[in-house]
Amino acid sequence: MDVPSREDALKWAAKIAAACRCTQEVRATAFDPELEAMLGKVAVDVGALKTRDRR
């Protein structure tokens, strides 16, 4: 989950832990521009497929 701050991550972890009745782990990860570019391309490709299916 991508959140703006560690504080927000801990809030979400607490909500998930309560809903799932299990502990959660919060980890920080580094920004990877290559991965972001790849995921952005996948999102665009999926959007194109959805648009094509509507025709």
Q: How confident is the model over 36-53, as a mean pLDDT?
A: 66
Amino acid at 15: K
Q: What is the pLDDT of residue 7?
A: 93
The total number of structural domains that make up the chain: 1
Does 47 reside within a domain?
Answer: yes
| Long-range CB contact pairs, 23-27, < 8 A, 24+ | none
> Is residue 1 one of the residues assigned to a domain?
no
28's CB contacts (< 8 A; 6+ apart) are 6
pLDDT exceeds 90 at position 18: yes
Q: pTM of the prediction? A: 0.53
Q: What pLDDT is recorded for position 31?
A: 76
What domain range includes position 32?
6-54
Q: How confident is the model at residue 44 (pLDDT cuts 50, 70, 90)?
A: low
pLDDT at 2: 81
